[in-house]
Amino acid sequence: MSGKQWKNPFYALLIPAGAAFCITAVAYGFMAFQMVNAGRAGAAKFADHPLFVWLNSHGTTLILIELAVLAVLTVGAIGTDNWWTSDD
């Protein structure tokens, strides 16, 4: 056994980035679903929530940024995996 094997930090960064993307995607999807069903009585009570107002303005940009971060971290994790686990 020659040297300590380090863990790839990109994997640790992928967890919160993926969780943030999932939460944003679910909230954005729920907001879009509420907008489609705006004519129904129960759908209108969520329409003025500050999160959905903000997502209506900036949600697409936020999802694209989070998707780009996930892509960069994924490429980083795959590209440096051999370097972090090498026995040198």
Share of the chain above pLDDT 90, in %: 50
d(CA 84, CA 88): 10
- Domain assignments of the chain as residue spans, ordered by start: 9-80
CB 71 within 8 A of CB 19: no
Tokens at residue 52, please?
A: 């959905």
d(CA 85, CA 6): 6
- Say what the pTM is: 0.78
pLDDT in tens, 59-71: 999 999 999 999 9
Tell me the residue length of the chain: 88
